[in-house]
Chain A
Amino acid sequence: MSLATDTSVPISADFHVTRSRQNVAWTGLGALVVVVVLALFPYIVYSGTTAILVQAFIVLTLASMWNLMAGYAGLVSVGQQGFVGLGAYFVLILALHGLSPFAALPVAAIGCGVVALPLWWLVSRLRSGYFAIATWVLAAAIMLFIERFQSLGGGTGLPLPGFTGMNPTLITAYTYWVGLAVTAAAMLAVYVLLRGRLGLVLTAVRDDEVAARSSGARVGLARLIVFVVAGIGCAAAGGVLAISQLQVQPTAVFSVQWTAEMAFATIIGGLGTIEGPIIGTAVYMVLQQTLASYNAWYLIILGLVAIVVALFARRGLWGLVDERLHLRLFPVGYWLRTGAGNGRPRSLRN
């Protein structure tokens, strides 16, 4: 990765600015190793395991997008399932017209990014609770609109065409790789976004919106970009969902449950950090897999975990790690080095 370099920009003889205190090369290398190892999974594990991992990929992608919105841009959306559903339906529509669902997925995701623009115009003036409710209403309206089309299966949906003649093992493996690719792309996009000029704005907005505005930050534009990126990401996750289930059913893909999952994973992991959604997704998937057979107890324990984390780890589980180890897996900050002696006072940075 070209990003995995610790570029140093000299200001004068006395000042150097580096993009991180830590060596970013290790982050890039570590991420690459993880992705490569995960990519080999279809050869070494059972399809049951890859199916669970596909679910995890969907949740992680969604959580990363929700984190970008709620954790940085101050946009608490309860309507991201609208994009999940749209992504799934766009894949279905393209597949019905003869395109392979795998090829349809990136087109569907970009298409949803375009749809996000007029939707943003509708909700951009709203804040906090009003924004949350408006996005929820929008998602419901999109579902009702799509259910009107009998050619798309109306209220019951349709099976996803385009898999006839394919080896089921191959379908499973392809689905897994597409899920992995979408998640890796989503994480990379979030990292690149937060490392760039816009990332500094978003981090400032996260900390104090009023001060960010009076420091010259165009908060509205930053929010628009985040809304569109999150729309694309959630739509891609919706596409993966459609492919993994081999069918598109409106009540399933437009379920508010998706937003509950992304919010849960983000909040228990750590809102406003890149690492948080990863930890949160891991915890969520472990809980789900171990407790799924207990039905109601599963939900009760999920709720209890959320309450305990909210009460005792306000900055999420990653916040606890960060406080003790001063660790950043994805460093996005700037580090000022003065002269020759003033090196790296580790203790000063979080």
Chain B
Amino acid sequence: MTSLLELEHVTKRFGRVVIAEDLSFAVGAGDVVGIVGPNGAGKTSLFGLISGDLAPDAGQVRFAGRNVTRLDPADRCRLGVGRTYQVPRPFADMTVFENLLVAAQQGAGLRRRASYAAAVAALERTGMSSQGNVPAERLGLLQRKRLELARALATQPTLLLLDEVAGGLTDPEVAQLVEIVRGVNADGIAVIWIEHVVRALTAVVSRLICLAGGTFVGDGEPTAVLAEPAVREVFLGTDVTAALAGGTLETTSAADAEREPS
């Protein structure tokens, strides 16, 4: 089976800052892949390279059998790449429902009735049904993150890119989110999920990638990757390796540092 998404020797630098150094990896249709890494590792930039917000200096991005390296974000979205932004970017002066309509009409290419139904479906799936007519600017941070997810879903993607949608959520909310992602994946949508809240990732993903300094330092089965010394070193710092000996993933300091006050 051919891969849904393929990155081949993708390199991106901003001056001396290396964002991606000769990255190659493939994601199959229906896969769920988690990405972890310290701040500044190039995680969000990797999403930019996949979604088209960033153009690589070298290498190729292939999606659904097509070379999409030169396609802009709108065209990649229409092919099936849906993404969320770590810092939510709602259409502030539009209602939640209108936000989703943009995605359903433009990203999924749906007309009137069908676009309304797709927007309503995205509202229901993300538990935002009661907020359809709320102007996006009135939403709190957590609701904005939820809107990001709903809008990406409304584009009816085959690949969903989630950028830290669990940060700041309580445990029951994380569980709820995990259920949403499971449901999305059950529909055959591939998911790549960047997250500091590792317990959310390990609940869903079958594969974990650790990114640091624009290169992969680990890739494989989640518990195995998190146990690798190289991963522990970049992700947690050398001194906490001993603290992690028990293997509890909850102790990741990065996860706590990321939690926003709510």
The stretch of B36-44, B88-96, B227-235, B253-261 that contacts the partner chain: B88-96
A338 touches B132 (CB 8 A): yes
Residues of A in contact with B, size category: 35 or more
* A212 (CB) vs chain B CBs: closest residue: B102
Q: Check if A125 is an interface residue, CB within 8 A of chain B.
A: no
Would you give the shortest CB distance from B123 to chain A, in whole angstroms? 8
Q: In the complex, which of the residues B73, B94, B97, B108 contacts A213, with contact meaning CB atoms closer than 8 Å?
A: B73
B113 touches A215 (CB 8 A): no
CA distance A338 to B129 in the complex (A): 9
Q: Mark B199-234, 1 if CB is under 8 A from A, else 0.
A: 000000000000000000000000000000000000
A206 touches B74 (CB 8 A): no
Q: Check if B62 is an interface residue, CB within 8 A of chain A.
A: no
B120 touches A214 (CB 8 A): no
Please classify the interface of chain A as helix (H, G, I), strand (E, B), loop, or mixed, using the class held by over half of its residues: mixed
Q: Check if B185 is an interface residue, CB within 8 A of chain A.
A: no
CA distance A245 to B11 in the complex (A): 62
A336 touches B106 (CB 8 A): no
Q: Check if A147 is an interface residue, CB within 8 A of chain B.
A: no
Q: In the complex, which of the residues A11, A211, A349 contacts B113, with contact meaning CB atoms closer than 8 Å?
A: A11
Identify which of B72, B89, B103, B133 gathers the most chain A CB atoms within 10 Å of its CB: B133
Q: Check if B151 is an interface residue, CB within 8 A of chain A.
A: yes
The stretch of B17-25, B77-85, B168-176 that contacts the partner chain: B77-85
A216 touches B155 (CB 8 A): yes
A11 touches B117 (CB 8 A): yes
B74 touches A217 (CB 8 A): yes
CA distance A160 to B3 in the complex (A): 68
CA distance A332 to B103 in the complex (A): 17
The stretch of A25-33, A81-89, A127-135, A195-203 that contacts the partner chain: A195-203
Q: Check if A310 is an interface residue, CB within 8 A of chain B.
A: no
A336 touches B92 (CB 8 A): no
CA distance A213 to B73 in the complex (A): 6
Evaluate whether A350 and B101 lie within 8 angstroms (CB atoms) in the complex, with A17-B116, A213-B72, A333-B94 already known. no
Q: B75: which A residues are within 8 A, CB to CB?
A: 218
CA distance A107 to B95 in the complex (A): 40
Closest 8 pairs between A and B when the two form their complex, measured CB to CB = A216-B107, A216-B106, A207-B91, A211-B89, A336-B132, A216-B77, A213-B73, A214-B73
23 pairs, CB–CB < 8 Å, chain A vs chain B: A11-B117, A12-B117, A15-B116, A200-B98, A203-B91, A204-B91, A204-B99, A207-B91, A207-B92, A208-B91, A210-B85, A210-B89, A213-B52, A213-B77, A215-B77, A215-B106, A215-B107, A216-B106, A216-B109, A335-B97, A336-B95, A348-B135, A348-B138
**Further 11 A-B residue pairs, CB within 8 A, beyond A208-B92, A211-B91:** A197-B105, A200-B106, A204-B91, A208-B89, A214-B73, A216-B78, A216-B107, A216-B108, A216-B109, A272-B93, A334-B98
